[in-house]
Amino acid sequence: MKFVRFALLACSMGVATAAQADVSFAFGVTAENLNTGVYNYLYPDVQTSGVLSTGGPLMVQSDGVSAMVNAWADARTGVFKSIASVNISSGGRPVDIAEAYSRLEVSDVLVFNATGSTATAEFRLSYDTAISGLGFSAFPREGEVSHFQQVLSFRQMTLSYEVANPVFDPNASCTGSGEGMFCPAETQQFLTVEKSASNEQFREVALGGPDGTYTNGEATNGRYTGTEVLSLEVPTGVEVHLSYTVYNMARCFHMGSCTLTSDASHSDYLGLVAPQGFSSASGYQYLGLAAAVPEPATAWMGLAGLGLIAGVLRRRRQA
């Protein structure tokens, strides 16, 4: 897994290819108190255009179980900021559930310019996430249910394009039929080339029996930052399909006490450097510079408010 950082910054470009970019921004929260039978969920419709936002902290509560998500993204610039925070302080049997997540998905088509047959492109994938609250002491299992907490901060970029197959033979044919059909390389007129880069911060802490816990994933409590560079030669004038996904989540599952936060409010960006220029279906430019992104004041007032709410939850739990 490559540790890579994305900065998608966009401005209008004069020439665009045939289609527009596809954008999807989804988020939701769950709070289930199985001790009292109070359940609350908020999963708004997926947003596909404009300034993408939860509209400030989105929160649900169910008798000592709380979940919050606060996220903002801009498909024109590729910026993604998110905090996912959950809290269980019900004090009852360890069966309560709290979940919060947000996800941005962007797809685009790029065409690179150059005087020769190939162009040089450099993509920069940037991330900055702080994780807190991981870990708990073992407790008696409740029936046959699973007991765990999870955080996931994930981003991935994939590039793919087709090139002419140098061994293509228009007279070649496949043999066999159904699941037994075999098509030799000579039957393929084009070959698909795919490049990708990603970064994942994941951790699960789970009850491992009556007397212990176990963990999956490499992340721990702390802050993770970095930039990974993906450099490649791409064919000039060929459509290069770009897909970008970033996801942030916190979950406490069948717990009686749990406070967990994945803070990706310091942003993800996808940056692209192509010295001889490029065009995109969206008209975007992927500049990869945090300072170039105007951040709506309301969005960050909301994120500040999320910290205040988290403080209230901590005090309530200690009471």
Q: How confident is the model at residue 312 (pLDDT cuts 50, 70, 90)?
A: very low
Rounded CA Rg of the chain: 23
**pLDDT confidence of 20, banded at 50, 70, 90?**
low
Backbone phi and psi for residue 196, each to the nearest 5 degrees, phi listed first: -150, 160
Give residue 239's pLDDT: 94
Computed over every residue of the chain, the mean pLDDT equals 84
* pLDDT reported for residue 285: 76
The DSSP secondary-structure symbol of 290 reads: G
Residue type for position 136: F
Distances from the Cα of 295 to the Cα of 131, 163, 305, angstroms: 23, 40, 16
Q: Is 298's pLDDT higher than 50?
A: no
Query: Is residue 270's pLDDT more than 70?
Result: yes
| Contact between residue 6 and residue 246 where contact means Cβ atoms under 8 Å apart | yes
CA atoms lying within 13 Å on the CB side of residue 214: 5
Task: Give DSSP secondary structure letters for 92-151.
Answer: SSS-EEEEEEEEEEEEEEEEE--SSSEEEEEEEEEEEEEEE----------TT---EEEE
Q: Answer yes or no: are the C-beta atoms of 40 and 121 closer than 8 Å.
A: no
* Pairing relationship of beta strands 258-273 and 79-88 according to DSSP bridges: antiparallel
pLDDT at 79: 82
**Other C-beta atoms within 10 Å of 211: how many?**
9
pLDDT by residue (tens digit) across 81-120? 999 999 999 888 999 999 999 999 999 999 999 999 999 9
Each residue's pLDDT tens digit, 187-206: 999 999 999 999 999 999 99
> Which amino acid does the sequence have at 212?
G
Number of H helices, E strands in the chain: 1, 15
Count CB atoms within 10 A of the CB of residue 262. 33
| 297: pLDDT strictly greater than 70 | no
Q: Is residue 30 predicted with pLDDT exceeding 60?
A: yes
Instruction: Assess whether pLDDT exceeds 70 at residue 9.
Output: no
Asked if pLDDT for residue 56 goes beyond 70, the answer is: yes
Mean pLDDT of 259-265: 96
Q: What is the pLDDT of residue 94?
A: 94
pTM reported for the whole predicted model: 0.82
Per 3-state DSSP, what percentage of the chain is helix, strand, and coil (rounded to 5)? Answer: 10, 55, 35
At 294, is the pLDDT very low, low, confident or very high (cuts 50, 70, 90)? very low
pLDDT of residue 99: 98
As a whole number, mean pLDDT of residues 121-142 equals: 93
| Per-residue pLDDT tens digits for 208-241 | 866 789 999 999 999 999 988 899 999 999 999 9
Per-residue pLDDT band at 7 (split at 50, 70, 90): very low
By C-alpha distance, which of 23, 7, 208 is closest to 104? Answer: 23
